[in-house]
Amino acid sequence: MRYLFEDFALDVDKRELFRGADAVSISPQALDLLVCLIRNRERVISKDDLISAIWGGRIITDAALATRLNSARVAIGDTGEKQRLIKTLQRKGFRFVGTVLEVRKPDDATAASGAAQRPEIPDKPSIAVLPFENMSGDPEQEYFGDGLVDDIITALSRFRALFVIARTSSFTYKGKIVDIKQIGDELGVRYVLEGSVRKAGTRLRINGQLIDVTTGAHLWADRFDGTLDDIFDLQDKVAQQVVGAIAPEVDRAEIERASRKSVGNIDAVTAYYRGLPHIQFPTSPANNDAALRDFHDAMALDPGFMPAYGGAAGCLGWRRANNWPGNVEKDNAELLRLAERVKELGTDDALALGVLGFNLFWMLLDFDRGLEMVEQAIQSNPNYARAYNYRGLLRAWHGASEAAVADLEQAMRLSPRDPVNYNAMMGLAVAHHNAGRHHEAAEWADKSLRAFPPAFFVGMTQGILCYVAAGRMEDARKLMAECLRLVPKWRRSTFVAPQWFRSAKLRAELVEAFIAAGLPE
């Protein structure tokens, strides 16, 4: 039996633990403890059961058990503080909470007949990255291609909502011609990423394509060109671009899959993906409420499924941004509850940390705590585009320019097709405004407003700021008229500059811009 989780492979028969291609050092009893927890991952294992299974019921001290538990955690990149994979439940016991794929080795009779037991596909979106084909016949490109696949596997593994097959399994197909569906069946995955590397002189061309194994559909395909001047820099950039491009495509495919699943067969992941499209524009108060119910369902089905917490926080933020009906105090309390729960669970899920951090600032004006959570999201997953989007916006509203521009450009570079890139564009408009580059700021406002969801009040107010500063008064007045259509009672006498514009200078400029654009007395 082999257990695959994150980028680890645990071979029970050989008593070996690998991370990617590298063997991991682990003591025999720590390995036994890890195997026991993984085999019984569907339930909490009491201390007594663990001692009975590993030490045969012999009396051992709590310190000895804690030492073996800590050794197992260290071996799989976990800690007692984070408890990302091995949870301690006070006065109850322990549980392995990571997503595991079981791969059973065929016995001699099965192997002779060519049959093997197929692993079940995990609830999470699951993907295998196959070795890229070397089209040049140059051994150096072989190393480049293998290194690129390693980087992509590592980067994808940082997305906690994905189940990524370890390199040790996907590389068993290197140099073989195998049907994609067969690979999907043998590895238990829904998606396969394959590609090729071709050299022409000093230039390299990398092709990649993402395939839905269940349907054979090509979800994404692209090519990347570069030179051999800095091959490692090229490898990093391509891996980053590939991951940034395919993560949203997997989300789209999972949304479609969730919509086809029967109501009576819903798990936490399905409930989450059913809610996700309802918070992408164009949306509505009713859709937003429906999505919030789906995310609450996902949390109830699996309290450890972190993306659902981020989804729920996103719904609360949408309600506030659009002035939709709701109870402000209750929404604030719910946001705090979600943030505290995520902190209690000790997650390193970048999606949950990013959305919650942004909305702690946006809704509760807790800049320090909000920025801290967004920073944690970036540290946890440097390839998560939206975390850079959030940090760039926070920095722009704080009055920064160059640091905000760098974050927001990185967000769009990592995920050029992200449906919330209109926010990054408006953030760039404000960041360039802060630097006095008003013509450039107005151009970014143009791009953002073309991509905006309809009737997005907050975005239009920032557009007014940039248009007035650039001298484009007619455009500013048009936006003001649309804002007054949405909020007819908006007046100078009752208007208070939003405190999420942390820069006093920016708040003053905003008020002046509104008056210049025609905000009534």
Q: What is the pLDDT of residues 297-335, one digit of tens each?
A: 999 988 888 899 999 999 999 888 877 888 999 999 999
pLDDT at residue 455 in the model: 66
Lowest-confidence pick of 306-310, 430-434, 457-461: 457-461
Split at pLDDT 50, 70, 90, the class of 56 is confident
The fold for domain 2-102 equals: Arc Repressor Mutant, subunit A (1.10.10)
Whether residue 249 has pLDDT greater than 70: yes
Task: Write the CA distances from 186 to 117, 137, 189, integer angstroms.
Answer: 8, 29, 8
pLDDT at residue 156 in the model: 85
57-103: pLDDT as tens digits: 677 788 888 888 998 999 998 888 888 889 888 888 899 988 887 77
Instruction: State how beta strands 86-89 and 218-227 pair.
Output: unpaired
Whether residue 112 has pLDDT greater than 60: no
Q: Amino acid identity, residue 404?
A: A
pLDDT at residue 263 in the model: 56
Whether residue 108 has pLDDT greater than 70: no
Whether residue 377 has pLDDT greater than 60: yes
User: What's the rounded Cα separation, in Å, for the pair 462 and 187?
Assistant: 49
480-519: pLDDT as tens digits: 999 999 888 888 888 877 888 888 999 999 999 999 999 9
215-240: pLDDT as tens digits: 888 888 888 888 877 777 777 888 88
10 Å CB burial of residue 511 (0-12, 13-18, 19+) is middle
User: What's the rounded Cα separation, in Å, for the pair 66 and 82?
Assistant: 15
Lowest-confidence pick of 246-250, 325-329, 387-391, 419-423: 246-250
Q: Evaluate whether 110 touches 116 at the Cβ level (below 8 Å).
A: yes
CATH class in words for 118-258: alpha beta
**Strands (DSSP E) along 148-284, which ranges?**
163-164, 191-200, 203-212, 218-227
**4: enclosing H helix or E strand:** strand 2-5
pLDDT at residue 178 in the model: 78
Q: Evaluate whether 350 touches 391 at the Cβ level (below 8 Å).
A: no
Tell me what the mean pLDDT of segment 383-406 comes to. Answer: 93
- Crossing angle, helix 457-469 and helix 421-434, to 10 degrees? 30
Please give the torsion angle defined by the CA atoms of residues 267, 270, 274 and 276, in that order, rounded to the nearest 10 degrees. Answer: 110
250-294: pLDDT as tens digits: 888 888 877 776 555 568 888 898 888 888 766 788 999 999 999
Angle 159-39-300 (CA atoms, 0-180°, nearest 5)?
55
User: What's the rounded Cα separation, in Å, for the pair 357 and 403?
Assistant: 18
Of these ranges, 23-32, 169-178, 270-279, 423-432, the one predicted with the greatest mean pLDDT is 423-432
Strand partners, 42: none
User: What's the rounded Cα separation, in Å, for the pair 370 and 393?
Assistant: 12
10 Å CB burial of residue 368 (0-12, 13-18, 19+) is exposed
Pairwise pLDDT comparison (107 vs 514), residue with the higher score: 514
Whether residue 169 has pLDDT greater than 70: yes
436 CB neighbour count, 10 Å cutoff: 10
% of the chain residues with pLDDT over 90: 31
Answer whether 2-102 and 402-521 agree in fold: no
pLDDT at residue 262 in the model: 59
Please give the torsion angle defined by the CA atoms of residues 338, 342, 348 and 352, in that order, rounded to the nearest 10 degrees. Answer: -10
Task: Write the CA distances from 359 to 291, 335, 435, integer angstroms.
Answer: 17, 8, 26
User: What's the rounded Cα separation, in Å, for the pair 37 and 43?
Assistant: 9
Tell me what the mean pLDDT of segment 131-147 comes to. Answer: 78
Task: Write the CA distances from 426 to 200, 421, 431, 452, 456, integer angstroms.
Answer: 41, 9, 9, 9, 12
pLDDT at residue 427 in the model: 95
- Residue ranges of the domains in the chain? 2-102, 118-258, 269-382, 402-521
User: What's the rounded Cα separation, in Å, for the pair 410 and 288?
Assistant: 28
Angle 366-369-370 (CA atoms, 0-180°, nearest 5)?
75
9-26: pLDDT as tens digits: 888 888 889 887 678 888
Tell me what the mean pLDDT of segment 373-392 comes to. Answer: 91
Q: What is the average pLDDT score of the chain?
A: 85
At the fourth CATH level, the homologous superfamily of domain 269-382 is Tetratricopeptide repeat domain (1.25.40.10)
pLDDT at residue 107 in the model: 45
DSSP 306: T
State phi, psi for 411 to the nearest 5 degrees.
Answer: -60, -45
Architecture of domain 402-521 in this structure: Alpha Horseshoe (1.25)
pLDDT at residue 105 in the model: 53
- Crossing angle, helix 402-414 and helix 231-260, to 10 degrees? 60
pLDDT at residue 261 in the model: 66
Please give the torsion angle defined by the CA atoms of residues 17, 23, 25 and 29, in that order, rounded to the nearest 10 degrees. Answer: 20
User: What's the rounded Cα separation, in Å, for the pair 407 and 68?
Assistant: 42
Split at pLDDT 50, 70, 90, the class of 392 is very high
Q: Evaluate whether 44 touches 95 at the Cβ level (below 8 Å).
A: yes
Angle 142-145-150 (CA atoms, 0-180°, nearest 5)?
125
- Crossing angle, helix 307-321 and helix 350-364, to 10 degrees? 30
Tell me what the mean pLDDT of segment 398-406 comes to. Answer: 95
pLDDT at residue 281 in the model: 65
